[in-house]
Amino acid sequence: MITPTHYLLLSMALFTIGLAGVMTRRNIIIVFMSIELMLNAVNINLVAYSAQVQNLVGQVFAIFVIAVAAAEAAVGLGILLAFYRNKETVNIDEINLMKW
């Protein structure tokens, strides 16, 4: 029998992997992707509990999360492109100035 705890553990593991990616990778695009993984971990939780408690609000929230993720990806990648044009790097360690 699969309980919500299973889903919780899965989501947790996914979240941790994403977090590890954010912390260890220096390529900002991969960092962004790791953040997407973490958002997905949250979504799994929301949907799993929504199914458990028979309340669809969790799914509605998951949709909002996806919308926010889309916005985040668009703006984040836009910033990245603008940055790359000026500095020719995607290394997060070199992105250390508030302006250039």
Partner 1 sequence: MSSPTPQYGPMFDTDELVINMGPQHPSTHGVLRVVLRLDGEKVVDADVVIGYLHRGVEKLSESRSWAQIVLLTDRLDYVSAATSNVGYCETVEKLMAIEVPRRAKYLRVILSELQRIASHLLWLGTHAMDTGAMTVFLYAFRERELILDLFEEYCGARLTYNSMRIGGLPQDLPPSWDRKVLEFCRIMEGKLEEYETLLTGNRIWLERTKGVGVIDGAEALALGLSGPPLRGSGVRRDVRKDEPYAAYDEMEFDVPLGVAGDTFDRYVVRMQEFRQSIRIIRQAMQGIPEGPILGKVPRLIKPPAGEVYHAIESPKGELGFFIVSDGKSMSPYRFRVRPPSFCNLQALPRLVKGHLIADVVALIGSLDVVLGEVDR
Partner 2 sequence: MAEAIAFYVLAACILGFAVLVVTAKNPVHSVVFLVLDFLCVAALYVTLGAEFVAAIQVLVYAGGIVVLYLFVVMLVNVKRPPEAFRAGGRHAMLGLALAGAVLVEAAAIAVWSRLSPAAPASAAQSLPVSGNTEQVGWLLYTSYLVPFEVASMLLLVAMVGAIVLARKES
Residues 59-98 vs partner 2: string with x where CB under 8 A?
A: xx-xxx-xxxxxxxxxx-xxxxxx-xx--xxxx-------
Q: Are 22 and 38 in contact (CB under 8 A)?
A: yes
The reply on whether position 84 binds partner 1 by CB under 8 A is yes
Residues 20-59 vs partner 2: string with x where CB under 8 A?
A: xxxxxxxx-xx-xxx-xx--x--xx--xx-xx-xxxxx-x
Cβ proximity to partner 1, 67 vs 82, nearer residue: 82
C-alpha span between 77 and 43 (Å, rounded): 22
The reply on whether position 99 binds partner 1 by CB under 8 A is no
C-alpha span between 15 and 34 (Å, rounded): 9
Look up residue 55 and give its DSSP letter: -
Which positions lie near partner 1, rule CB under 8 A?
Answer: 81, 84-85
